[in-house]
Amino acid sequence: MAPRGRFWLILWLGFALGVLAWVNARQTASVMLARDVREARTARAAAESERATLQRRLRTAGSREVLIPRAEAQGLRLPADTEMVTLRRAPARRR
């Protein structure tokens, strides 16, 4: 009678311990995952802010307000329409 009762007690304790360990592992994994997600989000935000900064620099550097004075300082100028030749694409030959 006594050994049987102890057996059930150990079984139930073991089961409870297993459930607790499972819950703990799940919680730990969730917390780790949440941390990873947050870090990934931060990294993405950092990349996006870097992209925005670079876009701003590109737009400024490529604008006519900046480019034309620099080009003129190098002795360049905007072409008149007579100095541009637009080529008409010839129709493709039939095979």
Partner 1 sequence: MARAEKRLWVVGASLAVGFSALVLRAAQIQLLNGGAYAARAEAQRTDSIALPARRGAISDRTGVPLATTIEIYHVGVDRGELRDPGSDIPLIARQLGLSEREIRRRLRRKYLHLEGPFMAAQVLPLRGHPGVYLTSDLIRSYPDPDFARAVIGRPSEGGRPSSGLERELDSLLAGAPGQAVVIKDGRGRELESPGRLQQFPVPGHDVMLTLDATLQDIAETALSEAIDRLRADGGDVVMLDPRTGEVLALASRSARGASTTNAFTSVFEPGSTAKVFAAAALLEADLVAPADSVWGERGTWVLKHRTIHDEHPEDMPAWMTLADAIAVSSNIGTVKFAERLAPPQQYRMLRAFGLGAPTSVEFPAESRGLLPQPDRWSGTTAQSLAIGYELAVTPLQLAQAYAVIANGGLLLRPALVKQVRDARNRIVYEHRPEPVRRVVRLDVARSLSAMLRGVVAEGGTGTSAALRTVELAGKTGTARRVGPDGYEPGEHTAVFAALFPADDPQLVTVVKLDSPRGGYAALTAAPLTRRMLEQALAARSEGLDRGPMARETSAPASGPRRRDGGDRTRHVVAWPPTPVADSTPARRIPDVSGLPLREAVGRLHRVGFQVRTVGLGKVIGTTPAAGNSAATGTVVTVRTATRGGP
Residues at the interface with partner 1 (CB under 8 A): 30-31, 33-35, 38-39, 42-43, 45-50, 52-53, 55-56, 58-60, 63-65, 68, 78-82, 84-93
Structure tokens that stand for 23 in this block: 């819950």
DSSP state of 75: T
Residue closer to partner 1 by CB (options 13, 66) is: 66
Of residues 54, 76, 52, 82, the one with CA closest to residue 64: 76
Length of the chain: 95
Residue closer to partner 1 by CB (options 14, 60) is: 60
CB of 39 to partner 1, least distance (A): 8
CA R_g for the chain: 36
CB of 5 to partner 1, least distance (A): 28
